[in-house]
Amino acid sequence: MFHRERDASKVALAALIERLRARGFTLLDIQWVTPHLQQFGAVEIARADYLQRLGAALAREAQFA
């Protein structure tokens, strides 16, 4: 997606994570754990844990804009 500049996708992901944290988000579902995402702290979690975290995340006040 960001192929014209070296490491641009890393910068974009870091900016997204910073924005989400600053606005009260606590969960980012990435679907697949890849080495690229692991370097940012991505981990695979069990479905039951994910559903519990999702419920807690949905109960929080958060606004992207």
pLDDT in tens, 18-42: 999 999 999 999 999 999 899 888 9
So what's the pLDDT on residue 1?
55
Q: pTM for the complete prediction?
A: 0.76
Domain that holds residue 51: 8-59
Is there a domain that residue 55 lies in? yes
Residue 63, burial from CB neighbour count under 10 angstroms (0-12, 13-18, 19+): exposed
Tokens of 47: 């479905």
Q: How many domains does the chain have?
A: 1
Task: State whether the Cα torsion 21-18-23-20 is positive or negative.
Answer: negative
1 located within any domain = no
Rounded Cα gap, residues 25 and 19, in angstroms: 9
Q: Is residue 65 part of a domain?
A: no
